[in-house]
Amino acid sequence: MSILSAQDIYGVNPIAAMPFTASGEVDEASFIRMLEHLATTGAQGLTLFGIASEFPKLEDGERQRVAEIFVSTLNGSPVYRAMSVTDHSTEVAVKRARGYQKLGADALMLLPPFFLQPSPQAIQHHIFSVLEAVDIPVLVQYAPGETGLAITPQQLADVCERYPHAVFKIECNPPVDYTKQFLQLAPQASVLNGYAGLYMLNMLAAGGKGVMPGCSFTEVYVRIYQHWIQGEIDKAEALHGALLPYIQVWMTHCEYIIQAEKTLLKQRGIIDSDYCRHPGWALSETDHSLITQFIQQFEL
């Protein structure tokens, strides 16, 4: 794949799940099978080490190993390969960003540090340092619900103005007004939205470029996005409306949707086990029947 620009980061870019065996070890065979499946879904990109990848639950050696598998498995596929830098130390984040670029990542995602509540100046220094360390696009993540960290639209606009290879993943809840304010200040910016695509159509209407959901029903997000791009707004709204009752329930807790998505992947035969490392979330019988209903309804 040729070198991407910030404008090439758009569309449906799911976060890869991290399959484990029933005893809690990384399941490399399932991971490869899942990546190969995702490369055929019509998604534009794929990101590893997001929250849906259970990144805090991986050992350092495991993280390096799956990073290598991720890049090599998707080499030559139509999707761009993004990898998230989640370190709380600026020096370590810079090293990891350079390492991922050298490994062959097409783009990075950056979760700003929040452990022990660093100052706004320290966070800005961290973001700038990573952006200065690489020349591939960097998705700067704004997830205040998960990090407890507030960044103003003006602060994000300052990042955008200074670094043309910065892209933005905005997932405050709700994100639409924030995104509108940000895009007024930085109309050239590329914005994607996470949050399971709850606000997908509102964000596209506000000027967003794409969505970064989990990966277990990527085809549904691709269908919605394609309807939107083709101007079939009614079809996009109808399909998104059918999806909402499910994701609104699962998104009440991060661990809940991580487990639901993994169980979906297992039921679809894409991974062998739906084990999530502890602490996690136990699904009820109602949850399991809802997942079966979901698979039938969306013909997955």
Tell me, yes or no, whether 143 lies in a domain: yes
| pLDDT average, residue stretch 3-30 | 96
The pLDDT value recorded for residue 150 is: 82
Asked if pLDDT for residue 1 goes beyond 70, the answer is no
Residue percentage of the chain with pLDDT more than 90: 89
**Greatest pairwise CA separation for the chain in angstroms:** 51
Read off the pLDDT of residues 47-94 as tens digits, 9 standing for 90 and up: 999 999 999 999 999 999 999 999 999 999 999 999 999 999 999 999
Asked if pLDDT for residue 113 goes beyond 80, the answer is yes
Angle between helices 233-250 and 254-267 (to 10 degrees): 110
Tokens 């399991």: give the residue. 288
Tell me, yes or no, whether 158 lies in a domain: yes
| pLDDT average, residue stretch 225-229 | 98
Asked if pLDDT for residue 296 goes beyond 90, the answer is yes
The CA distance from 29 to 176, in Å, is: 39
Over the chain, what is the mean pLDDT? 95
For residue 243, name the pLDDT band (cuts at 50, 70, 90).
very high
Tell me, yes or no, whether 39 lies in a domain: yes
Asked if pLDDT for residue 177 goes beyond 60, the answer is yes
The pLDDT value recorded for residue 151 is: 84
Amino acid at 137: P
C-alpha 7: how far from chain center: 17
| pLDDT average, residue stretch 242-256 | 96
For residue 142, name the pLDDT band (cuts at 50, 70, 90).
confident
The CA distance from 264 to 42, in Å, is: 19
Task: Please report, for the domain that includes residue 219, its CATH number.
Answer: 3.20.20.70
For residue 295, name the pLDDT band (cuts at 50, 70, 90).
very high
Task: Tell me the DSSP string of 60-102.
Answer: HHHHHHHHHHHHHHTTTSSSEEEEEE--SSHHHHHHHHHHHHH
Query: Per the structure, how many domains does the chain have?
Result: 1
The pLDDT value recorded for residue 120 is: 83
The pLDDT value recorded for residue 143 is: 81
The CA distance from 47 to 251, in Å, is: 19
The pLDDT value recorded for residue 2 is: 59
DSSP 169: E
| pLDDT average, residue stretch 278-292 | 98
1 is in an annotated binding site: no
The pLDDT value recorded for residue 213 is: 97
Tell me, yes or no, whether 22 lies in a domain: yes
Tell me, yes or no, whether 257 lies in a domain: no
| Global confidence as pTM | 0.96
Asked if 200 contacts 171 with a C-beta cutoff of 8 angstroms, the reply is no
- Domain that includes residue 19, residue range: 11-232
